[in-house]
Every structure is written in C-alpha cells, then in structure tokens.
Amino acid sequence: MTGPTERLTPLDHSAQNRCFGCGVANPVGLHLDFFLAEDGSVVGFPAVSDLYEGPKGYVHGGIIATLLDEAMSKAVRAHGYIAMTRQMEVDYLRPVPSGTAHRMESRITRSKGRKHWTAAKILNHAGTAIAEAKGLFIEVRPRLTGQHAKQSPISGSPATE
C-alpha cells in the first residue's frame, strides 16, 4: 500500500470530534486516519468492517461515498481551510471488498476564493482505482457560540437571527 520510501505525516483530529468518518468520539463511526504525503496529497488506509456492507463481502455504496467525501475534506483541511461539501460526484468502478485495507488518495485540484475543487480515489492492493470522486467544497466560517455569538463577526455589532 505504501512504497518503502513514502513518508507520511499523520493529520491530527480533534479529541472530541464526533464526525461519522473520522471522529474518535463517535462509537459507531469509521474512525478513519489520514496522512499528508510529501506531494501535498492526503492518504488513508481504511479497512471497513462488514458492519457497513451492502452486498455480503462488499462495502455499501453510501459508505464508499463517505470515504471519498472524508478524504476530499481532509485534502481541503490539510491546506488550512474549514469547508463543507457543496457538490460531489462518485464513480463506482468496481465493488469495494469489506474487511480489506485499501488506499485512499485525495487532493485539491483547483481553488478560487472560498471554492475548492477536489478529487479522491480508492485503490485496491494492486493499485487499481476501484472508486473515484470529485467534489466542490466551500469554506465556512466557524460557528460562534456563547458570548462570541452576541456580536456579528463582520461589523462587531449585535448579531441578528
């Protein structure tokens, strides 16, 4: 899955993150880990259990989409942006076996303002793409809570509902 000289740096997750894909605090989540490659791409090695199967022995299509969405999201996050999926297109090339480690790769392909276009793929043990996706992510501002929510982030005046 990784070459003998490939150097990957782990991407950190929030300790209390409840995200279904990568959240360590989600008891039924996928608990995905991601790494930053030297070329700027993001890499992961998911082995999805049979709890998330569609047909016996194969990962459910919605979970495949989740894997690709998570990978693209992390590619955006690796560049320091907080963004959410606006649009996503998945190409299911071959069935994805469950319980088997696969390689995921993702990257930003283009950025303009708050828009970030991404691409991701899942590769089997032979390095063949078995699922691919492209997506558009839009940067979002962190949601203000508590005392900070009383002021508008733009004008400093009280926020309106």
91 is known as an active-site residue: no
Among candidate residues 12, 33, 39, 69, the one labeled active-site is 69
**3-state DSSP of the chain:** CCCCCCCEEECCCCCCCCCCCCCCCCCCCCCCCEEEECCCCEEECCCCCHHHECCCCEECHHHHHHHHHHHHHHHHHCCCCCEEEEEEEEEECCCCECCCCCEEEEEEEEEECCEEEEEEEEECCCCCEEEEEEEEEEECCCCCCHHHHHECCCCCCECCC
Kindly list the catalytic residues.
Answer: 69
